Amino acid sequence: MRSTIIRGSAIAAGLTLALGLAACSTGADAGTDTGSESSTGQFAKDENTLVIGMVPDQESVENNFQPMVDYIAEVTGKEVELIESADYAALVEAAIAGRIDIGTFSGFTYVAATNGGADLIPIGVQVTEEGAEPGYESVAIANADSDVESIEDFAGKNVCFVDPGSTSGYLYPSATLLDAGIDPEADITPVFAGGHDASAQKTAQGVECEVGFAEDAVVDTTGIEQGLFAEGDLKVIARTTVPGAPVVMSGLLPQDLQDELLEKLQGFTVQDIEDAGITVTDAFRAYFYEMVPVEDSYYDTVRLVCEETGAPQCDPAAA
């Protein structure tokens, strides 16, 4: 195995550095201040290593992302470091500063990073079943014992969100609340749980939050399978379709490596991972069947929701 997971203080130190660099410069200029350069491109660390940044969505990084990380190491022949970011904002700023080579982003994180000047290219979106359309759902949920029956009933409640930079855990929920006449800042008390699993779990417990939002996979399957809450602890109030979360690469990488990543990662399947001799966990299989190519324009709907909500996280360069 040529992959490493970096977490804890190492993450904080690395992304704090990224934040400082991003404050001074953005886009391609930011990339020239970090990593190692070659005659044809720029690496976050060095030409033998690919640094992968990921949003802090999952309870088990190893189970949910390790097979993909190992596959990238296998097909590129490079060492791979997986950095689990402290929060969505840290990942955005790390991308702006050129501190990651590949990212597993949310649609909102991708739009925010590119708005801030990050040079990123979408590789694709993972789908969970053969022939499935990319995308997933933002689910509005309530504690099973709550009397909440509609989005309008969220007014005045403690509402669990994932993170201010989460697509299905904050941006789209904000639009859902606004459509119901609820100001997501003034008419509720927001509670940021830090991850989809934590948001669903806190809502199921009904102590910190009576209602909340989380992605469909956690609400429908993995949260129950992982023992975060029992079936029947949550009731679903509404569902909203969200563009699929992209895997992206840095546009600062050497062109030949960009071409290689597109060739080997667009359209690869869970079977390709197994054929490479890599163990596929049940948790990973629940999230991944195939990487479907997408273009930047696929995220125009996220940009429209940004305009509708006026969320400041959409444009870090203006903050």
CATH code at 136-242 = 3.40.190.10
Average pLDDT over residues 313-318: 83
Write b or e for each residue in 4-16: b if 16 or more Cβ atoms lie within 10 A of its Cβ, otherwise e.
Answer: ebbeeeebeebbe
Please check the confidence at residue 39 and state whether its pLDDT lies above 60. Answer: no
Q: Going along 135-184, which residue ranges are E strands?
A: 136-143, 158-161
pLDDT digits (tens, 9 = 90+) for 84-94: 887 889 999 99
Pick the CATH number of 3-132+245-318 from 1.10.599.10, 3.50.50.60, 3.40.190.10, 3.40.50.880: 3.40.190.10
Distance CA 143, CA 201 (A): 10
Exposure on the CB side of residue 274, measured as CA atoms within 13 A: 11
pLDDT digits (tens, 9 = 90+) for 2-15: 555 554 333 333 43
Tokens of 202: 């806190």
What is the model's pLDDT at position 287? 79
pLDDT for 206-232, tens place per residue? Answer: 999 999 999 998 999 889 988 999 999
Question: Taking 50 as the threshold, does the pLDDT of residue 306 lie above it?
Answer: yes
> Which one of 43-47, 55-59, 278-282 scores highest in mean pLDDT?
43-47
Domain ranges in the chain?
A: 3-132+245-318, 136-242
